Amino acid sequence: CRPTVGVEGAFCDTANGWGIYNGELRHNSNSTGPKYGTQLKDGDIIGVAVDMVEGTIVYYQNGSSWGQAYKDV
């Protein structure tokens, strides 16, 4: 673990973290964020694509894209 990322908090609570929490995008200690994705069901397969050249993150549910979640990461 990087020294700047504590293990006591959520990864998306840091300036270096991006994630989804309760159907909302979260970054840099956001207590709320824009709605994103669809309701998950048991057995769903979640994928993440990180494009290091374009600086984007896209999430997938069962192979279907939810669209760009983040840019300039």
Q: pLDDT digit string (tens) for 10-29?
A: 667 777 788 888 889 988 87
Beta strand 46-51 with 56-61 is: antiparallel
pLDDT over threshold 90, residue 69? yes
Does pTM top 0.95 for this prediction? no
How many alpha carbons lie under 13 Å from residue 28 in its C-beta half-sphere? 3
Reduced 3-state DSSP string for 8-66: CCCHHHCCCCEEEECCEEEECCCCCCCECCCCCCCCCCEEEEEECCCCEEEEEECCEEE
Predicted local distance difference test score (pLDDT) of residue 21: 84
* Angle at alpha carbon of residue 35, lines to 40 and 17, rounded to 5°: 90
Predicted local distance difference test score (pLDDT) of residue 16: 77
The predicted-structure confidence for 26-57, as pLDDT tens digits, reads as follows 888 767 889 999 999 999 999 999 999 999 99
